[in-house]
Amino acid sequence: MTISVGDTLPDVKLVKVTEGGPEQVQSSEYFKDKTVALFSVPGAFTPTCSARHLPGYVDKAAELKGKGVDEIVATSVNDAFVMGAWKEAAGSDDVTMLADGNADFAEAVGLAADFSGFGMGKRAQRYSMIVENGVVKELNVEEPGGFSVSSAEHLLGQL
């Protein structure tokens, strides 16, 4: 079942990319007591994700924070080392990378997708959400191949 507005995020382990290396976090604790702009991509370094999705959040970070967002989080079904390299390539500390290497989070929120036809296996759909104290306040899931409602610009309009 797909997560909906008003639902609490499921409690699963994710891996946060830090300067000191990968750090396991529990989603229930991580999203507690803050407002988070969360976006998910099918894969770090993939064309749309690298050329448009992540750069949009990097460019709009100050505006998002100016509208009450405490943290901007990107998640993908990649390991923490790939997510760390992607963050380094993007050149921004404004986006926290949470690796979902086993797709546990993607499955738990009901937004996993099969990208086997592209040789990528199980991934997450492209989406964005506003999460307040662990509760989904806005949810924007893209149609397959689409990129509009999960953009930073769209999320800004919802704040």
Q: Token pair for residue 66?
A: 């100016």
- 3-state helix/strand/coil string of 129-156: EEEECCEEEEEEECCCCCCCCCCHHHHH
Q: What would be the CATH architecture of the domain defined by 13-158?
A: 3-Layer(aba) Sandwich (3.40)
Is 49 a known active-site residue?
Answer: yes
pLDDT in tens for each of the 159 residues of the chain? 789 999 999 999 999 999 898 999 999 999 999 999 999 998 777 656 555 668 889 999 999 999 999 999 999 999 999 999 988 888 788 999 999 999 999 999 998 877 666 656 576 888 999 999 999 999 999 887 777 888 899 999 999
From the candidates 37, 38, 49, 155, give the one annotated as an active-site residue: 49
Q: Token pair for residue 79?
A: 């390991």
Question: The whole model's pTM is what?
Answer: 0.90
